[in-house]
């Protein structure tokens, strides 16, 4: 499976590879931002824990949706 992904990546142009890296970077950023909002004890904004959990879960779900869109776009 990884070999197949690498072969597809070699066939892409430089711009497509750059956009692929940016997409993965944004996915990872949203995911870790959601985790930070939930688990960071000294969060710099004064938000109650219920809203922090809701915001964190929303960010994590959004990152997962972005990942599946990226995955489906690469399968085609």
- Per residue of the chain (76 residues), give pLDDT as tens: 567 666 766 777 778 778 888 988 999 999 999 999 999 888 788 888 899 999 999 999 999 998 888 778 766 6
pTM: 0.76
Please tell me the predicted confidence (pLDDT) of residue 27: 92
Tokens of 3: 């070999």
Q: Dihedral angle at the C-alpha atoms of 8, 14, 15, 17, nearest 10 degrees? A: 40
* Cα end-to-end distance, the chain, whole Å: 15
Please tell me the predicted confidence (pLDDT) of residue 9: 66
């Amino acid at each position: 499976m990884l070999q197949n992904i690498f072969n597809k990546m070699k066939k892409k142009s430089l711009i497509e590879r750059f956009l692929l890296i940016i997409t993965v970077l944004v996915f990872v950023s949203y995911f870790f931002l959601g985790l930070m909002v939930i688990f960071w004890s000294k969060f710099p904004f004064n938000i109650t824990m219920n809203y922090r959990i809701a915001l964190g879960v929303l960010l994590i779900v959004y990152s997962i949706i972005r990942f599946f869109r990226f995955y489906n776009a690469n399968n085609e």
